[in-house]
Amino acid sequence: MNIDLSGKIALVTGGSGNLGSVMAKTLAKCGADIVINYYKNKQRALELQKLIEELGQLCMIIQADVTRLKDVMGMKKNIEKKLGNPDIIVNNAVIQYKWADILQQKPEDFHSQFESCVMHNVYMIKAFVPAMKEKKYGRVIGINTECAIQNDISQSAYVAGKRGMDGLLRVLAKEIGAYNITVNQVAPGWTVTEADRKSGIVSKPEYENKVPLKRRGTDQEIANLVAFLASDLASFITGAFIPVCGGNVMPAI
């Protein structure tokens, strides 16, 4: 059984980042043409574009601030003109900030998380879902986090944004399911990325000791689930929130 995305166009926001780049490469290896959205790291996006084109897939890079509706709509027009309408959108980008207790957390950090978790998804939905409805096919995949279930100290701004995102995407799953469009969320744990490998610090015993599988997951393991949900193998899965965290959090029924 193979994941075959041949003939599909996949857009990954934050596609030049640690997780986004592996998602983009994995979707390309499954046969999809790729659009890499980046905000600042153009050089990394260009390097990734070259790698994907060497795999034999079309690849377009495009700069946009996904917290701005004007930018997202401009991105839509450019993609439509050059490649067509994406069949798969992976809403992965998020604003990074320094975590602190609620009393110390800056109000602007709560705003940034709302903008990059909730409004980012709203804008992507408004831009790309109408074309999916027309062709009666599509995949919307949001990258959430295990933190949305943990609710640990200092996670407040991040959790507030991601839980808002969760509610939005669950409603969307019900609203557009009749059009053969699935909406799902992938919730990584504390994941090993290329940045960790380069630093030489991959193991985090204080975290791993709490994980039933006794290790951190990898960026490739996150991308594997994204590719599965993007494929027709997951055609009857929608509205799901799926942790990829070795059992560190377990959604209850």
* pLDDT for residue 84 is more than 90: yes
124-143 pLDDT, tens digit per residue, is 999 999 999 999 999 999 99
13-64 pLDDT, tens digit per residue, is 999 999 999 999 999 999 999 999 999 999 999 999 999 999 999 999 999 9
Looking only at Cα atoms, what is the longest distance across the chain?
51
* pLDDT for residue 200 is more than 90: no
- pLDDT value at residue 201: 84
Tokens of 235: 């055609």
- pLDDT value at residue 1: 82
* pLDDT for residue 112 is more than 90: yes
- pLDDT value at residue 83: 97
Mean pLDDT of 166-195: 97
Confidence of residue 151 (pLDDT cuts 50, 70, 90): very high
* pLDDT for residue 148 is more than 90: yes
Radius of gyration for the chain, computed over Cα atoms and rounded to the nearest angstrom: 17
Q: Count the neighbouring beta carbons within 10 Å of the beta carbon of residue 75.
A: 23
Catalytic residues: 158
- pLDDT value at residue 138: 98
85-97 pLDDT, tens digit per residue, is 999 999 999 999 9
Confidence of residue 253 (pLDDT cuts 50, 70, 90): confident
Domains of the chain with CATH codes: 9-244 (3.40.50.720)
Per cent of the chain over pLDDT 70 is: 100
Which three-class secondary structure string do you get for 160-224?
A: HHHHHHHHHHHHHHHHHHHHCEEEEEEEECCCECHHHHHHCCCCCHHHHCCCCCCCCCEHHHHHH
CB-CB contact of 125 with 170 (8 Å)? no
- Mean pLDDT, the chain, integer: 97
Geometric angle at alpha carbon 157, from 14 and 230, rounded to 5°:
35
Mean pLDDT of 185-201: 94
Query: 136 by DSSP, 3-state: which?
Result: coil
Inter-helix orientation angle 219-230/18-29, to 10°: 50
- pLDDT value at residue 202: 87
Mean pLDDT of 193-208: 91
- pLDDT value at residue 186: 98
